[in-house]
Amino acid sequence: MSPDDHAYPPVGRARPHESGTTTVPSVCPHDCTSTCALDVERLSNTRIGRVRGSMRNDYTAGVICEKVARYAERIHHPDRLMKPLRRVGPKGSKQFAEISWNDALDIVAEQFIAKARQHGSETIWPYYYAGTMGLVQRDGINRLRHAMKYSRWFSTICVTLSDTGWIAGVGAKRGADVREVDEHSELVVIWGGNPVNTQVNVMTHAMKAKKRGAKLVVVDPYRTGTADQADVHLAVRPGTDGALAVGVMHVLFKEGYADWDYLRKYTDAPDELAAHVASRTPEWASEITGLSVEEIVSFARLYGQSKASFIRCHHGFSRSRNGAANMHAVTCLPAVTGAWQYKGGGALYGHTGMYPIDKTLIDGLDMVDTSIRDLDQSRLGPILTNDPAALKNGPPVTGMLIQNTNPAMVCPELELVHKGFKREDLFVCVHEQFMTETAAFADIVLPATMFLEHDDFYTASGHTFFQVAKAVIDAPGECRENHYVISELAKRLGAKHRGFDMSVWEIMDETLKVSKMWDAETNWQKGGQDFHLGFETSHFLDGFAWPDKKFRFKPDWAAYGGRGKEMPVLPDHFDVIDNATEDKPFRLVAAPARTFLNSTFTETPSSQKREVRPTALLNPDDCTAMGIVEGERLEIGNERGRTIVNAKPRAGQQKGVVVVEGIWPNRNFETGIGINALTSADPGWPNGGAVFHDTAVWIRKAS
């Protein structure tokens, strides 16, 4: 079969359409909870113009971020990979020669077969993440994994801690709809996130509420663009949100803001909780969080007095060793005041658990063999440097296929990741849109399509629509979609599953049919299917998602295995974070930058220009005490690594907190290695999850 027979639309080619400029619908595929509905200006079969937020989706409501509005800059970038490449110089040297698709795929298959023969099938570890959130193009790699009994995937880099912490109390990954905020919320709390940078649509809705007179509170260790918009900014110490939430609950119970009728009907252990928080005073919380007693008490009163209070729980505050415990503590607040009962009240962390989609065909779930080891995505450094525990005492990883992720920039303990990628006995194939720092380590590089060049469908986390998107333009050069690579490798490896013989569109249609959802064409025509569950269910007024229907103040942490038994029984400050010490007096938050999306968009000139350079934001008093002036070169480091950044005093964060925004390319640092050289691959409690904002560091003037 030629590539063009393999899929409809023909691989790398959009459906036929009229010539001239038209506006066509699409969906943003990037790793962002907004999953915006887009209107794309199509200038020709091969070029796009402006990208706009669509009005057909009332969550997107016509607004998208600046980086995707300028997508033409990324999709038509002169540095896009166009041809398959074979490494001809040392690993990481970027010396490559062009090669045909057939030869490239043959080499990958031969290498995987040879490595598996030598070490067993678990020696191959397909490695991916959410560069595209499209379910077929992102997750098809798992079908190949399971068909070949390659090492399984323990996905930990993003949502593990936050999912665990949310589900521990609520029971399911869903919540109240942010669209309610516009008209109904009296108070909006943006907790542990910076949506001005990371999901602009939350701001659309929060600002509509604010215009009506609702109050906006932001809980974040530094003065973000989001905090700038707030009535109240609570600049906590990183990793102490559990203490803040518990201190707030103390006031809620003490001052009569607890709704006992609600508590008795909807929660598991309200009396125990009330007794427990009685000893956790605002003074106690102040000591841990660094906030004043007054700040804690007045926030508690504001929260208690507002019936319709909406907490938008973000991921940022879960990226600590105690992140799941902190997320759970925050979710206890609306259960104490009964805010769930009101339109515009309650909380949302994410909606993805609400879609009825059956992913068996996409992921090959009918072939899973649980006796095969799973490896922790975030522990790539220890894994590639042959740490026996990280490898679960199994064979070394000697073969990798990497799609949709750039671990040489985004993973913690980056020194180990790079050391591992240089191993001569490791064969790596990277399927990418650009010559990323990960692709530079590869033996074979394959050029990938972008979302406007292939079909796919998308769940969302921030809203409740399920959206289908069709290719808008033809793929440039020899770029091929992920599904093509997976299916072609399957043929060469002898992997058997019907999914490898279907087109993306066929996979979508069959998946939608078995899931009892609209078929792909209908979904596309109508601009997405809304799975909103209605007020009652989305506010858990028909019960929380547990057999006894009660919110859990006492989660069954032990059920998660790992170190669940070590966690506090009731919400508390769980002190397992990387606390500051005399040698490492600063706590580092490695926060997202506005115009980078993880490492994506670091290749576009306008983003590079806006973000300027790797910068350390410090409390002005710390700068004065250390004699540091703006722009000064600072060495920042710990036992894992060190790098150099430029100082910037910034009011609105506590002393002893340092913030470095953005996953800058390693090449942008004098040391040749970026901020993730300092972050740790330690798994969070109870059972894993990356801890990017939980890092003790020292800071010195660079020599």
Q: Which residues bind ligand MGD (CB under 6 A)?
A: 31-32, 129-132, 137, 157-158, 191-195, 197-199, 219-222, 224, 236, 238-239, 241, 314-317, 320, 403-406, 410, 431-434, 436, 448, 482, 589-594, 596-600, 663, 675-676, 679, 692-693
177 or 268, CB closer to ligand MGD?
A: 177
12 or 239, CB closer to ligand MGD?
A: 239
Dist CA 649 CA 660 (whole Å)? 12
Helix (H, G, I), strand (E, B) or coil at 326: helix
**Residue 202 beta carbon to ligand MGD: minimum distance, rounded to whole angstroms:** 7
Distances (CA, A) of 485 to 104, 137, 458, 475, 690: 10, 10, 20, 15, 29
64 part of the interface to ligand SF4, by CB under 6 A: yes
Touching ligand SF4, residues 193-232 (CB under 6 A)? 199-200
35 part of the interface to ligand SF4, by CB under 6 A: yes
Q: Which residues pair with 200 in a beta bridge?
A: none
CB 619 within 8 A of CB 653: yes
What is the sign, positive or negative, of the torsion defined by CA atoms of 608, 610, 612, 615? negative
**Residue 693 beta carbon to Mo ion: minimum distance, rounded to whole angstroms:** 12
- Using the contact rule CB under 6 A, the part of the chain among 3-11, 64-72, 416-424, 683-691 near ligand SF4 is 64-72
Q: How many residues does the chain have?
A: 703
Dist CA 405 CA 166 (whole Å)? 26
- Using the contact rule CB under 6 A, the part of the chain among 33-41, 220-228, 288-296, 510-518 near ligand SF4 is 33-41
158 part of the interface to Mo ion, by CB under 5 A: yes
Q: Which does 124 bind (CB under 5 to 8 A by kind): ligand SF4, Mo ion, ligand MGD, none?
A: none
**Residue 663 beta carbon to Mo ion: minimum distance, rounded to whole angstroms:** 11
Dist CA 230 CA 212 (whole Å)? 14
The neighbour count for residue 78, using CB atoms within 10 Å, is 4
Q: Lay out the site mask for ligand SF4 across 171-190 (x = CB under 6 A, - = otherwise).
A: --------------------
28 part of the interface to ligand SF4, by CB under 6 A: yes
Amino acid at 700: R
Dist CA 646 CA 368 (whole Å)? 48
Strands 465-469 and 456-458: antiparallel
191 or 465, CB closer to ligand SF4?
A: 465
Percent helix, strand, coil in the chain, to 5, is 35, 15, 45
**Residue 206 beta carbon to ligand MGD: minimum distance, rounded to whole angstroms:** 12
The neighbour count for residue 558, using CB atoms within 10 Å, is 13
CB 529 within 8 A of CB 536: no
Touching ligand SF4, residues 359-398 (CB under 6 A)? none
511 or 600, CB closer to Mo ion?
A: 600
**Residue 21 beta carbon to ligand SF4: minimum distance, rounded to whole angstroms:** 21
- Using the contact rule CB under 6 A, the part of the chain among 28-36, 151-159, 222-230, 568-576 near ligand SF4 is 28-36
- Using the contact rule CB under 5 A, the part of the chain among 153-161, 337-345, 366-374, 573-581 near Mo ion is 153-161
Dist CA 50 CA 71 (whole Å)? 7
Q: Which does 68 bind (CB under 5 to 8 A by kind): ligand MGD, ligand SF4, Mo ion, none?
A: ligand SF4
Q: Lay out the site mask for Mo ion across 475-504 (x = CB under 5 A, - = otherwise).
A: ------------------------------
- Residue with nearest beta carbon to Mo ion: 158
CB 572 within 8 A of CB 579: no
Beta carbons within 8 Å of 525's beta carbon, 6+ residues apart: none
68 part of the interface to ligand SF4, by CB under 6 A: yes
CB 76 within 8 A of CB 47: yes
Phi first, then psi: what are they for 86, rounded to 5°? -120, 135
Which residues lie near Mo ion (CB under 5 A)? 158
Which residues lie near ligand SF4 (CB under 6 A)? 28, 30, 32, 34-36, 64-65, 68, 199-200, 597
